[in-house]
């Protein structure tokens, strides 16, 4: 399914059991992509896609951080050049890492969607291939490797599989890997930007108003074309929403019980899974922790209140 060269660099990440309290008989398994190259699942798809480009090629992309890092890491390995358009509010750690990886970083006023427009403009003007995080079938196929691993790592059937949804690139890879399986899949979106939920309900890709969240990787205001198409066609797919407070609490729980330092988007699916499994017995679920690139100040701010409360 994937060339040998692919797994010479992509890591088969751990699939571990959540160690915190749940309802009797319930289990939660965590696919920990903080252990992936670049501390994010994004490398899976970007490396797969850039294997198609000739050395020396310049590629262009848009990113809230992790996708850009995935493109930049793959480009570094394959002797390519990268220009990344990022929102002006990108986290400090992600902007610094992109620069250190040799990418030309261009900050854009606005959010992810404005960055996409700038990247597409450069593609039109220069011919540099645009590497989409949402709608490139080769990127999406690379992401499917994550879920093919889960299928191999799961000894017993799962009642549900939870994953974060921004624009839907990871979701599209998940639905590819689980096609015709009957697996119940739950996409988790921010309450403030439920782009996939609204697209499914309205049957169109609505562009939502700008929003703010510590889970910047999920601040995608319009669902991708390919992810929406696959979500419509998959018979057992649901969307759940998560709040900022739930995400903060989840980051604390992951750190406390499993020693996993997740970013906001990375922990969101775990939060939705915990909401269900803490009150429902005899359920077996898995959740994808998509990334761990988070500023120290942001991480400490997210968990400090819970740490202080437990100290008393």
Same CATH fold assignment for domains 6-41+136-311 and 42-126: yes
pLDDT at 308: 73
Q: 148-187 pLDDT, tens per residue?
A: 999 999 999 999 999 999 999 999 999 999 999 999 999 9
Give the integer Cα–Cα distance in Å for 268 and 303.
14
Q: How confident is the model at residue 101 (pLDDT cuts 50, 70, 90)?
A: very high
Mean pLDDT computed over 88-98: 89
CA atoms within 13 A on the CB side of 97: 24
Q: Is the dihedral of CA 11, 71, 31, 39 positive or negative?
A: positive
Q: Say whether domain 6-41+136-311 belongs to CATH 3.40.50.1100.
A: yes
Mean pLDDT computed over 19-42: 98
Q: 212-248 pLDDT, tens per residue?
A: 999 999 999 999 999 999 999 999 999 999 999 999 9
For the chain, percent of residues with pLDDT exceeding 70: 99
What is the CATH T-level fold of the domain 42-126, as seen in this structure? Answer: Rossmann fold (3.40.50)
Q: State yes or no: pLDDT of 207 exceeds 80.
A: yes
C-alpha closest to that of 60 among 136, 12, 114, 118: 118
Q: How confident is the model at residue 191 (pLDDT cuts 50, 70, 90)?
A: very high
Q: 262-300 pLDDT, tens per residue?
A: 999 999 999 999 999 999 999 999 999 999 999 999 999
Q: Pairing mode, if any, of strands 160-164 and 284-289?
A: parallel
On whether the pTM is more than 0.85, the answer is yes
Q: Using an 8 Å Cβ cutoff, are 210 and 201 in contact? A: no
Where in the chain are the domains? 6-41+136-311, 42-126
Q: Compute the CA torsion angle 230, 27, 10, 227 (nearest 10 deg).
A: 10
pLDDT at 312: 62
pLDDT at 307: 77
């Amino acid at each position: 399914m994937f060339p040998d060269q692919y797994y010479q660099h992509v890591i088969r990440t751990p699939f571990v059991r959540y160690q915190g309290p749940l309802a009797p008989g319930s289990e939660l398994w965590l696919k920990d992509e903080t252990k992936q190259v670049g501390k994010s699942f994004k490398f899976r798809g970007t490396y797969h896609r850039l294997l198609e480009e000739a050395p020396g090629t310049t590629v262009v992309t848009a990113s809230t951080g992790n996708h850009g890092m995935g493109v930049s890491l793959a480009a570094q390995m394959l002797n390519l050049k990268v220009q990344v358009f990022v929102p002006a509010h990108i986290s400090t750690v992600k902007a610094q890492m992109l620069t250190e990886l040799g990418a030309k970083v261009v900050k854009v006023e606005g959010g992810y969607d404005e960055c996409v427009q700038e990247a597409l403009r450069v593609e039109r003007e220069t011919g540099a291939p645009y590497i989409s995080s949402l709608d490139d079938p080769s990127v999406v196929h690379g992401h499917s490797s994550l879920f093919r691993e889960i299928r191999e790592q799961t000894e017993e059937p799962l009642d549900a599989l939870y994953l974060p949804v921004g624009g839907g690139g990871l979701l599209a890879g998940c639905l590819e890997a689980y096609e015709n399986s009957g697996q119940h899949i739950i996409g988790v979106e921010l309450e403030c930007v439920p782009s996939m939920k609204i697209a499914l309900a309205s049957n169109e890709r609505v562009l939502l108003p700008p929003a703010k969240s510590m889970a910047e990787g999920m601040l995608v205001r319009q669902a991708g074309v390919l992810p929406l198409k696959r979500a419509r066609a998959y018979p057992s797919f649901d969307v759940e929403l998560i709040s900022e407070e739930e995400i903060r609490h989840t980051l604390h729980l992951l750190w406390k019980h499993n020693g996993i330092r997740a970013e906001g988007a990375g922990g969101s699916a775990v939060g939705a899974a915990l909401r269900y499994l803490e009150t429902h017995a005899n359920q077996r679920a898995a959740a994808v922790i998509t990334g761990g690139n988070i500023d120290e100040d942001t991480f400490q701010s997210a968990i400090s209140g819970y740490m202080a409360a437990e100290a008393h």
